[in-house]
């Protein structure tokens, strides 16, 4: 498991990340090789969740869609991912079970002045990621995205340096039966 990779300009365009949502002056420049590693990981994980959805739901490919992760997939009611955090460890900031859908989380966006210093990801009761992100700002992607299978519990804990309403946006993909969330 490696640290998240800051994205370059070409990846921002591919994944529809708004201009100005990243502080360009603080971003580490990437070589094409790094972007290819991220894109390869994204395509691989997207194909895997499509394969799992088809197999476990027993549906043909044309009945399974691949779409962008939205906050509601993480059990959040509002369209933006904002959290009222107390100082210290905040357990179960996000806790959801992905019913009849498969998720792949491959990155996050941390806005300016965020006081979240650590993120812990739990899947089915097992800790699968623990990042120290103090001082991070901008959008980061992983070269090793993680999957959440159908009916599997996802829990995200966050450590905040101060009591404050925080924003943190997770990026990823979801596969599900056509028409479940979005009618394309």
Answer yes or no: are the C-beta atoms of 122 and 61 closer than 8 Å.
no
What is the predicted pLDDT for the residue at 32?
A: 47
**Rounded to an integer, what distance in angstroms lies between the CA atom of residue 46 and that of residue 51?**
9
Tell me the residue range of the domain where 107 lies: 5-177
Stretches where the chain sits below pLDDT 70 are 1-35, 79-80, 182-184
Q: What total of structural domains would you count in the chain?
A: 1
Residue 34 inside a domain? The answer is yes
Residue 10 inside a domain? The answer is yes
Answer left, alpha or beta for residue 104, where phi above 0 means left and psi between -120 and 50 means alpha: beta
Pairing of strands 82-85, 164-167: antiparallel
What is the predicted pLDDT for the residue at 92?
A: 92
102-152 per-position pLDDT tens digit: 999 998 988 888 899 999 999 999 999 999 988 888 888 888 889 999 999
Residue 9 inside a domain? The answer is yes
| Count of beta carbons in the 10 Å neighbourhood of residue 75 | 13
Residue 184 inside a domain? The answer is no
**Rounded to an integer, what distance in angstroms lies between the CA atom of residue 94 and that of residue 123?**
12
What is the predicted pLDDT for the residue at 39?
A: 81
What is the predicted pLDDT for the residue at 149?
A: 93
pTM to 2 decimals?
A: 0.78
Residue 182 inside a domain? The answer is no
What is the predicted pLDDT for the residue at 30?
A: 40
What is the predicted pLDDT for the residue at 159?
A: 95
Residue 28 inside a domain? The answer is yes
Residue 183 inside a domain? The answer is no
Residue 94 inside a domain? The answer is yes
What is the predicted pLDDT for the residue at 1?
A: 44
| Count of beta carbons in the 10 Å neighbourhood of residue 162 | 10
What is the predicted pLDDT for the residue at 14?
A: 53
């Amino acid at each position: 498991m490696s640290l998240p990779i800051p994205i370059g300009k070409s990846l921002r365009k591919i994944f529809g990340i708004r201009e100005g949502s990243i502080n360009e002056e603080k971003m580490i420049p990437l070589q094409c090789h790094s972007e290819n590693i991220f894109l390869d990981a994204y395509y691989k994980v997207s194909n895997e969740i499509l394969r799992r959805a088809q197999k476990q739901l027993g549906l043909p490919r044309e009945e399974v869609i691949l779409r962008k992760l939205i906050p509601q997939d993480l059990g959040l009611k509002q369209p933006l991912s904002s959290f009222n955090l107390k100082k210290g460890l905040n357990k179960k900031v996000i806790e959801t079970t992905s019913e009849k859908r498969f998720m792949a989380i491959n990155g996050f966006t941390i806005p300016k002045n965020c006081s979240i210093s650590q993120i812990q990801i739990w899947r089915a009761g097992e800790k699968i990621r623990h990042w120290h992100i103090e001082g991070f700002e901008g959008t980061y992607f992983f070269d090793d995205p993680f999957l959440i299978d159908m009916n599997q519990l996802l829990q995200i804990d966050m450590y905040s340096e101060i009591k404050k309403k925080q924003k943190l946006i997770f990026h990823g993909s979801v596969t599900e039966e056509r028409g479940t969330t979005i009618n394309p």
